[in-house]
Amino acid sequence: MADNTRMQTMQSAINKLTEQSDGFHEQLATITQALTSLQVHITQNTDPPHRHSVSSFAVSRQLRVEFPHFSGSEDILQWIYRAERFFSHL
C-alpha cells in the first residue's frame, strides 16, 4: 500500500512539473514572438547611419578644453585644482 501511495505522489509531482514546463514553453514562445516583433519594428524605424550625420561622440569631440599652464606667479594649489578639473572632464 505504501508503494502505491509513493507512486501516486510521484506521478502527481511529475504531472505538476509537466504542466509547469508546458507553461514555461508557452511563455518562452510569447517572449520570442514579442522580441521578433520588436526587432522588426526597430529595424523598420531606424534609418541607416549617414556619412554626414553628427554623432554624440563627434559633438563632444568639438568641445575644447585647454590644460591650465602654470606661470609660476600664481598659487600652486589653485593650479593643481584647475589641473584636476581638466582631467575630470576627459
Please report, for the chain, the start and end positions of each structural domain, with discontinuous segments joined by +: 1-45, 61-90
Instruction: Pick out the chain residues at pLDDT < 70.
Output: 1, 46-63, 89-90
The per-residue pLDDT for range 30-53, each reduced to its tens digit, is: 888 888 888 888 888 766 555 555
Side-chain half-sphere of 86: how many Cα atoms within 13 Å? Answer: 12
Q: DSSP letter string over 7-46?
A: HHHHHHHHHHHHHHHHHHHHHHHHHHHHHHHHHHHHHHT-
89, 65 contact by CB (below 8 A): yes
Predicted pLDDT at 32: 87
Predicted pLDDT at 9: 92
